Structure 1
Amino acid sequence: MFEDTLELAENKLLLLYIFKKIKFPISNNEITQIILENDFINYFTLQQYLTELLSANFIKKITHSNNHKFIITKKGLKVLMLFGNRISKDKIDILEQYLNKKIKDIKKNLSINASYSNDDENNFIVELKISENNSTLMNIQLNVDSNKKAKELCKKWKKGYSELYYTIVELLMRN
């Protein structure tokens, strides 16, 4: 019984670890593929764990254009930070190898765009966008007062879009 409880906790922490490691919202199909291809958890138990993680607010479901994605919350990150050492090193190693090979495939459906235009002499409009399969996940337009700032925003977006996306979503979802 105690061993079952430890395994349940470890598996949920493993799911949180995956969400943290990927850093951007992923679909149920994507998380299922990661888990099943590595024989971590069976399908039905995985779906139960996802439901429980949602209920506990360790992950959130984001819906856009009838697409449902999961993303880890600050509460989930905190739990992972406190108890992440309970995930076996073997599972972490397997997961790290898998993600290193597959992260490009997972992200391939994403399109990241950053551009700017000169509205007038001292006004630049910067557009930062993330799309997936021709569906916009996020589109931000900002006015800045210099070409230098516009270029810097574009550069930062292209370099750190996943963390910026996560931070913006977290800020908007705060109560």
Structure 2
Amino acid sequence: MFENTLDLAENKLLLLYIFKKIKVPLSNNKITQIILENNFINYFILQQYIHELINSQFIKYANPDTDHKMVITKKGVKVLNLFENMISKDKIQKIDDYFKSQIENIKEDISVSSSYTEENKNSFIVDLIAAKDKSTLMNIKVNIGSKKEAIELCEKWKNNSQSIYYEILHLLLQK
């Protein structure tokens, strides 16, 4: 029982460490990817921990009205500073190494988002956003006729946002 309590505490502290280390809002998908790629916690327990950290106000949604990316709170930083030594050095090293090798991919994913909502049976609103350093570079809302097309558009934006952004900018600036 005591060992399970220590594991629980260490895993929650590890999540706080990741949020503090990355210094930008993370989506649930991105934090899940980081945790699962490093085999730290299984998916279901991770989701429970995230929920508990939000309820404890150690992490929060950066802008709950517009997106669902999370950040560490001042309270979370304070707790992490007090108990960071409870995280194994191996796990910290593994996360630090992961960030060194993946930081550009993580930041690129963070600065681009896409989502869709169903307007009515045959109409979906696709929202495509490109942001840099908390500033919106481009926000496009498009009405699409099918869920399949909405999903495809979101994927294309995610995979090619930089080139699409520059193409749109070029087209708009042409005389």
Name the TM-score class by shorter chain.
Answer: 0.5 to 0.7
Deviation at 1:62, TM superposition (A): 2.7
| Alignment check: 8 A CA contact 1:54 1:60 kept | yes
Identify if the C-alpha distance between structure 1 residues 97 and 66 changes in structure 2 by more than 3 Å, giving closer, same or farther.
Answer: same
Alignment partner for residue 130 of structure 1, among 125, 132, 135? 135
Deviation at 1:66, TM superposition (A): 4.6
Q: Which has the higher contact order (CA 8 A, sep 6+)?
A: 1
Identify if the C-alpha distance between structure 1 residues 42 and 55 changes in structure 2 by more than 3 Å, giving closer, same or farther.
Answer: same
Partner of 2:97: 97
The percent identity for this pair of structures is 59
Identify if the C-alpha distance between structure 1 residues 46 and 135 changes in structure 2 by more than 3 Å, giving closer, same or farther.
Answer: farther
**What SS is found at the alignment partner of 1:68?**
coil
State the 4+ residue runs in structure 1 displaced beyond 6 angstroms.
none
Q: How is 1:88-167 mapped onto 2 (pairs within 5 angstroms)?
A: 88-109=88-109, 110=111, 111-112=131-132, 130-131=135-136, 134-135=138-139
How many Å separate the matches in 1 of 2:76 and 2:41? 19
| Alignment check: 8 A CA contact 1:65 1:135 kept | no
- Give aligned pairs, total: 120
Deviation at 1:103, TM superposition (A): 1.1
**What SS is found at the alignment partner of 1:108?**
helix
Deviation at 1:79, TM superposition (A): 0.2
How many Å separate the matches in 2 of 1:5 and 1:77? 21
Unaligned runs of 5+ in 1: 114-128, 137-175
How many Å separate the matches in 2 of 1:135 and 1:53? 30
How many Å separate the matches in 2 of 1:131 and 1:48? 31
AA aligned to 2:132 is I
Deviation at 1:67, TM superposition (A): 2.3
TM-score, normalising length from structure 1? 0.64
How many Å separate the matches in 2 of 1:96 and 1:27? 19
AA aligned to 1:31 is I
How many Å separate the matches in 2 of 1:3 and 1:49? 17
Partner of 1:76: 76
Partner of 1:9: 9
Deviation at 1:64, TM superposition (A): 5.8
TM-score, normalising length from structure 2? 0.64
How many Å separate the matches in 2 of 1:74 and 1:23? 13
Identify if the C-alpha distance between structure 1 residues 135 and 7 changes in structure 2 by more than 3 Å, giving closer, same or farther.
Answer: farther
How many Å separate the matches in 2 of 1:86 and 1:105? 29
